A and B are shown apart, each in its own frame.
Chain A
Amino acid sequence: MATGIKDKVAILGMGCSKFGERWDASPEDLMVEAYSEAMADAGIEPEQLDAAWFSTHMDDVGVGRGGTPMGIALRLPNIGVTRVENFCAGGSEAIRAAVYAVAAGACDIALALGVEKLKDTGYGGLPVATVGTYIPQWYPNAVAPANFAQLASAYQRKHGVDAALLKRAIAHVSIKSHANGAKNPKAHFQQAVTEEQVLKAPMIAQPLGLYDCAGVSDGAAAVIVTTPEIARSLGKRDLVTFKALQVAVSNGWEMHSNEWDGSYVHTARIAARKAYAEAGITRPREQISMTEVHDCFSITELVTMEDLGLSEDGGAVRDVLDGHFDAEGRIPCQIDGGLKCFGHPIGASGIRMLYEMYLQLQGRAGARQLGDPKVGLTHNLGGQPSQNVCSVSIVGREGA
């Protein structure tokens, strides 16, 4: 039976570009920005990298396909570079590949880097994804806000939640993330918003208004991983190690049966269960110090709290409104502003989430530093609630 990766791999260094409307930077520039910080943080030379994994989603508006865009942009020493793409979970997939390579003993030191240059698409929101030749012939010409907004209608019906109450709860999700993002100099949006602003914002996809939607941003993030032993040999102390890396992918059950009720994300529950088992976590509400979850839309974050077992089923509305996930709450969520305010360059997001966990666990998060976090959870959701890729990763202090 697999023993998992708990404490087998440590973070040697991390870097993250400033996220936002980076009119000043090409994707290559963003990669260099994140990579340079990560290499300086790790204190190694390029020749010490054994392999790299490169996450980018949109090949038509970004850097193109394959591993060469990263190999060339970073002038890597002819190491293996593999492009990974798994919707919004691509960054977490790049981490998983690098960590697994180190854990397997195939590499001593591996790099994972994600980048996305969304603002070169020419309009707000995500471009329409290419999904082959069959699906477009019957599937709605759907956009992400409406796909995720459907969680709200189904959640409301399942739990008998008043529409106005749910709207207030998801408004609080955004208010909290804006408050957090205001303390983050690398975040795309750095200003607080009021409940009135959120509730009165233009409607994007019922019931989601403008402030219920994550930022569409340019950005890059990088992580360098190695074994705890090598990290120590390179002089590192207070190691942050991986406790669990799990991914669950839809098999069609949600849409090809009538069993799923549409109010939650099935794969998130599976990935969370497996991640907790791998990390040895039995009471997540007590043992998880903080989370960075895939708040592509405010309703997604609310539902995710239940999927991760951090709220009771049907209890997230109350927990959110009670401030349970605020920076001062029991389990802070999106301390860095989340997708909502830090931004969401698709291929980079999973690594950006890990970056915040790393800073917090090392006490390097500046104005937004939490008290004494020990274990952090990151969660990515790619695709849409009815068919998706979900990753749940847990990191913590060595031995935690």
Chain B
Amino acid sequence: MFGITGYGGYVPRLRLARRAVVEANAWYAPHLAGKAKGTRSMSNWDEDSITMAVAAARDCLGASEDRSHVRSVLLASTTLPYVERLNAGVVCEALTLREDVEAIDMGGSQRSALSALTQAMARVRTGGGDALVVASDHRKTRAASSQELDFGDGAAALLVGSGQVIAEYLGAGTLSVDFIDHFRTTGEDIDYAWEERWVRDEGIGKLVPRAIATALAEAGVEAEKIDHFIFPSTFQKMDLQLARRCGIRAEAVVDALAAQVGETGVPHALLLLAQVLERARPSQLILVAQFGSGAQAVLFRVTDAIGSFRPVKGVSSQLATGVEEHNYTKFLSFKEQLRLERGMRGEQDRKTALSTAYRHKAAILGLVAGRCEVTGSVHFPPSRLSHDQGRPLQDTQKPYKLAERRGRVLSWSAESLSFHRSPPHHYGQVDFDGGGRILMEFTDVAQGDIDTGTEVEMVFRIKDIDELRGFTRYFWKATPVRTPSSSPTESSAATA
């Protein structure tokens, strides 16, 4: 048996109130008034498809020191920050995977998450070890567009293998058809879309049922037996229409989280799947479909082992820890659609020495410190010499991962002097449980969230953006450990 052995998701903490968008644009686009309900997920300024992919993968993989079982990583997205530089390679470094892992970027259509999933199944079937499927999108839209309100940011991850399978792979159906409902040429940020009725009736309505029928036939499963049907779409009730057309019970249709998250693009089907798996019961059948340059459908049967896996946080928990954001200009600025005055400090050159970045990639991208085997002291960054009461020890440090460890704030400040995309700029010293200390930035914080002693965890984020050369630099930041009960429901004006 092979199939899904783990799952995880990532929904950014901020949830933009749609009412704020509609009200700000009412003078120009009054026709959007009907979309003023609920929220959509909104990435922080320091998040992109890579950082969200890492977050989802960590939710799936857990805090285990040993991730050597992962033999391939398939990253699906249509919004990857690099056209040339393996985006999945950055994800692998952040996850401290082995260098002989096969990492692949996939994209090109909204169904690429399921394409990645079927590719992962094929790898596992031929004995290629565990495959990690990650999907992530950080979508850009035009201000005052329907998409701005309908879309969301997010990521999801599935671990595929033949070990402790929690959802058995039963089959898939795929159609590759050059049906162009929307397109985006290289170098462009925003999609160009065709008429909705044509897309709905001639595209989704005709192509997706064929893929579903193939998947059901391959698995020998009748449509009415499906317990959970996942089909993300920004068209209202498209999932219900499809279910009816395919003979799937209406109760099986999975809520697409439009009210809280919006449609996150490529990852959305897997994000919904990750949430369904949190509550799925043994022997239930899950059908997942995606549309884009054709259609794809994948069918799973939940196994008795479903209770043996829990993501670190899970989608539901993250939905409960969101903070509502009412500041539309902040959203526009974070999406680089509103150029705010930066002052002279915003002119700083953020060039990255690529040779230095390569030499220290384990420390920078993997947050790997050095632990002295003699004294036990943890050094970040790792170095050849360790402290020992003034008598340095040479070459005694061994790699020591800090990313999955929690820490506590030793000292901090929040300043409004430097250029920062979300002031005030919070940073301070973090002492890690088990040793190690880093002077680092805090993210996803509002004023008052950080104090000495605050418990923090690590998140992989954008460190700097070199706009002169178009290079994004990544590092880790600290954020307060949050539980559903400890989270505020509304963001202050100063959420970073």
| A positions within 8 Å CB-CB of B | 121-123, 125, 128, 133-134, 136-143, 145-147, 149-154, 156-157, 203-206, 208, 251-253, 255-258, 261-262, 386
Contact = CB atoms under 8 A, between A and B. Distances in A.
A140 B441 contact: yes
Interface string B419-444: 01000110111010001111111000
B416 A139 contact: no
A146 B417 CA distance: 9
Given A137-B473, A138-B475, A145 B415 contact: yes
Contacts of B360: 134, 137
Contacts of B410: 154, 261-262
B435 A258 contact: yes
A255 B344 contact: no
Contact of B387 (A123, A140, A142, A257): A257
Chain B CB count within 10 A is highest, among A140, A143, A257, A386, for: A140
B316 interface: no
Given A153-B411, A153-B412, A257 B377 contact: yes
Given A133-B356, A141-B464, A204-B416, A257 B437 contact: yes
A128 B345 contact: yes
Nearest to B380: A256
Contacts of A151: 411
B489 interface: no
Given A134-B353, A256-B379, 6 more contacts: A122-B344, A137-B356, A141-B348, A145-B417, A208-B413, A256-B387
B365 to A, nearest CB: 10
A255 B381 CA distance: 10
A190 B23 CA distance: 51
Nearest to B360: A134
Contacts of B350: 136
A215 to B, nearest CB: 15
A181 B363 CA distance: 47
Given A123-B345, A141-B348, A206-B414, A156 B439 contact: no
B425 A258 contact: no
B411 A154 contact: yes
Interface in B345-375: 345, 348, 350, 352-353, 356-357, 360, 363-364
A204 B417 contact: yes
A204 B414 CA distance: 8
A341 B377 CA distance: 42
A122 B363 CA distance: 36
B417 A150 contact: no
A125 to B, nearest CB: 6
A154 B353 CA distance: 34
Q: Which 9 A-B pairs have the closest CB atoms?
A: A205-B415, A133-B353, A149-B413, A150-B411, A146-B415, A140-B427, A154-B411, A146-B413, A262-B411
Contacts of B356: 133-134, 137
B452 A156 contact: yes
Nearest to A154: B411
A154 B418 CA distance: 22
A105 B437 CA distance: 46
A119 to B, nearest CB: 13
Contact of A203 (B353, B363, B412, B416): B416
A136 B411 contact: no
Interface in B439-496: 439-441, 451-453, 463-464, 473, 475-476
B411 A146 contact: no
Chain B CB count within 10 A is highest, among A128, A150, A154, for: A150
A74 B92 CA distance: 58
B25 interface: no
A266 to B, nearest CB: 12
B414 A146 contact: yes
Contacts of B363: 138
Given A123-B344, A137-B357, A205 B413 contact: yes
B383 interface: yes
Nearest to A202: B416
Contacts of A150: 411-413, 428-429
B427 A146 contact: yes
B220 interface: no
Contacts of B429: 150, 255, 262, 386
A358 B353 CA distance: 47
B343 interface: yes
A259 B467 CA distance: 39
B11 to A, nearest CB: 26
Contacts of B377: 256-258
B305 to A, nearest CB: 40
Contacts of A133: 352-353, 356
Nearest to B344: A123
Interface in B27-46: none
Contacts of B416: 203-205
A150 B356 CA distance: 29
Contacts of B412: 150, 153
Contacts of A203: 416
A386 B464 contact: no
A253 B437 CA distance: 10
Chain A CB count within 10 A is highest, among B378, B383, B418, for: B418
A244 B452 CA distance: 37
B428 to A, nearest CB: 6
Given A150-B411, A257-B377, A136 B440 contact: no
Contacts of A252: 379, 383, 387
A121 B475 CA distance: 29
Contacts of B425: 140-141, 146
A297 to B, nearest CB: 11
A204 B428 CA distance: 15
B345 to A, nearest CB: 7
B415 A204 contact: yes
11 contacts: A125-B417, A134-B381, A142-B418, A143-B417, A145-B415, A145-B417, A150-B429, A154-B452, A203-B416, A256-B377, A258-B436
Contacts of A154: 410-411, 452
A255 B439 contact: yes
Contact of B424 (A136, A152, A206): A206
Nearest to B361: A137
B477 to A, nearest CB: 9
Nearest to A142: B427
